[in-house]
Amino acid sequence: MRRRVGIGVVGFGWMGQAHSRSYLRIPTLFHDRAADPVLVACADTEAPRRRAAIDDFGFADAHEDWRDLVARDDVDVVVVAAPNMLHVEVVEAACAAGKHVFCEKPVGGTPAQTARAAAAARRAGVVTGVGYNYRFAPLVRHARTLIADGRLGDVTLFRARFFSMYGNDPLGVLSWRFLQEEAGYGVSSDLLSHALDLAHLLVGPIRRLVGTRATTISERPLAGGGASHYGRGAAGEPTAAVTNEDHVAALVEFASGATGTFEASRTLHGPESQLAFDVYGTTGAVEWSLERMNELRANLDGEGYTTLLGGDRFPRHGAFVPGAGNPIGYEDLIAIEDFEFLEAGARGEPHEASFEQALAVAAVQEALVRSWDSGTWEDVVAVREPVGA
């Protein structure tokens, strides 16, 4: 008999709604599931979103204060999709209440906050998940299998980038994402974290790095276009300073001896959502990009590059569409990650990506921040929970 799992969602913007849709879809996609998710409650400060949660998504209830949601006995899982700097407070309360917790990245707006969240989950013994959804792309998983099986030989070089254009308009409104006091760090949290998670998944831990940053649009309009980072102000409106970074770049050395390069930017013109990686080994190579997420370019056994098309022979793809060459989409990756998190919680088993994977990414980010200040190579060291937290 399947276990009923009550879902509570904190923050009902884009990602809160995406996860809610995923939980609604899980029973229609994964028939071998151990649990049935039930949308119990949503929490959001905006009344229209609370109404939509009930009227359009079928939540049983909606709260203005997220604390009321966390306190409910019928909520087993708390999904945290609120603004970044609220994450740790919600996570700590949910863990203390004995809820399993899925948190959108970054788990903390700073590495120290990520350490606090991970410590809270360890103390509570709850199952955790973090929104590194791109690791669930079927062809990313296939790339991991090729690397693990030695089809590329020894990995010598990993190149990754996440180039987005969402912030390239100087009239883009000054939403919370552009403010360090509300978002924490900028693209090193928002975009680079995904590339770092893929690096850890495919190649392993990073030993040391040297990096740089830039804020290429230093001021943005205060009003107009709403609070979304896709909103747009108007020329002549009052502006204020952007307080976190638009662009980062780093050279790295992996513990395995491989080298790597990373870049992330939210203000470029050209790439629209280009999370991409290239892995080079002594006998082969693979390439993947989110903008072509249903394709994997592979050069194996010295035979030149070929393009593999997604299909039901790759992990989880067949839950959405049968055959080969029939594509899946962005929210399908969220459905996969939500399903695997749900299954882990129902079975009381660890889940990946968990807060421990988020903590590994935070350690790299912390070294990157130190390198910005020192201008030199910095070792990656474990991030510890702040004393007195």
Percentages of the chain per state (helix, strand, coil), in multiples of 5:
35, 25, 40
Residue 176's pLDDT band, with cuts at 50, 70 and 90, is: confident
Q: Which domain holds residue 221?
A: 138-292+294-328
Examine the domain organization and report whether 119 and 159 are in the same domain. Answer: no
pLDDT tens readout for residues 87-119: 999 999 999 999 999 999 989 878 999 999 999
Q: Cis bond leading into 386, ω under 30°?
A: no
Q: Of 361, 347, 345, which is closest to residue 78 (Cα–Cα)?
A: 345
Q: Is residue 354 part of a domain?
A: no
pLDDT tens readout for residues 224-283: 544 566 778 888 889 999 999 999 999 999 999 999 999 999 999 999 999 999 999 999
Cβ count within 10 A of residue 356:
15
Residue 368's pLDDT band, with cuts at 50, 70 and 90, is: very high
For residues 178 and 192, give the distance between their C-alpha atoms in angstroms, rounded to a whole number: 15
Average pLDDT rounded to a whole number, residues 177-181? 90
Which of 132, 159, 174 represents a domain boundary (last residue)? 132
Q: Of 22, 9, 20, 11, which is closest to residue 337 (Cα–Cα)?
A: 22
Q: Is residue 343 part of a domain?
A: no
Examine the domain organization and report whether 39 and 160 are in the same domain. Answer: no
- Count of structural domains, the chain: 2
Cβ count within 10 A of residue 385:
17
pLDDT of residue 99: 98
pLDDT of residue 42: 98
SS3 for 190?
helix
Q: Is residue 382 part of a domain?
A: no
Pairing of strands 3-10, 77-80: parallel
Examine the domain organization and report whether 125 and 142 are in the same domain. Answer: no
pLDDT tens readout for residues 118-159: 999 999 999 999 999 999 999 999 999 999 999 999 999 999
Task: Specify the CATH number for the domain of residue 114.
Answer: 3.40.50.720
Examine the domain organization and report whether 179 and 316 are in the same domain. Answer: yes
| Residues, the chain | 389
Cα–Cα–Cα angle for 149, 200, 244, rounded to 5 degrees = 155
Q: What is the pTM of this model?
A: 0.95
pLDDT of residue 225: 44
Q: Is residue 363 part of a domain?
A: no
Q: Is residue 334 part of a domain?
A: no
Examine the domain organization and report whether 58 and 128 are in the same domain. Answer: yes
The answer on pLDDT for 383 being more than 50 is yes
Average pLDDT rounded to a whole number, residues 153-180? 94
Average pLDDT rounded to a whole number, residues 351-365? 96
Examine the domain organization and report whether 186 and 316 are in the same domain. Answer: yes
Tokens standing for residue 42? 């949503």
Which of 328, 344, 372 represents a domain boundary (last residue)? 328
pLDDT of residue 387: 54
For residues 101 and 122, give the distance between their C-alpha atoms in angstroms, rounded to a whole number: 12
Examine the domain organization and report whether 109 and 145 are in the same domain. Answer: no
Average pLDDT, the chain: 94
For residues 286 and 149, give the distance between their C-alpha atoms in angstroms, rounded to a whole number: 13
Tokens standing for residue 12? 């009902």
Examine the domain organization and report whether 196 and 307 are in the same domain. Answer: yes
Examine the domain organization and report whether 99 and 181 are in the same domain. Answer: no
305's enclosing H/E stretch is strand 305-309
Q: Is residue 107 part of a domain?
A: yes
- Torsion angle of alpha carbons 174, 177, 182, 184, nearest 10°? -140
Q: Of 322, 319, 324, which is closest to residue 338 (Cα–Cα)?
A: 319
pLDDT of residue 227: 55
pLDDT of residue 262: 98
Task: Specify the CATH number for the domain of residue 231.
Answer: 3.30.360.10
For residues 9 and 377, give the distance between their C-alpha atoms in angstroms, rounded to a whole number: 40
Q: Is residue 7 part of a domain?
A: yes
Examine the domain organization and report whether 90 and 184 are in the same domain. Answer: no
pLDDT of residue 231: 79
Examine the domain organization and report whether 44 and 73 are in the same domain. Answer: yes
338's enclosing H/E stretch is helix 330-347
Average pLDDT rounded to a whole number, residues 24-52? 97
pLDDT of residue 298: 98
Examine the domain organization and report whether 168 and 227 are in the same domain. Answer: yes
Q: Is residue 359 part of a domain?
A: no
Residue 384's pLDDT band, with cuts at 50, 70 and 90, is: confident
Which of 132, 161, 193 represents a domain boundary (last residue)? 132
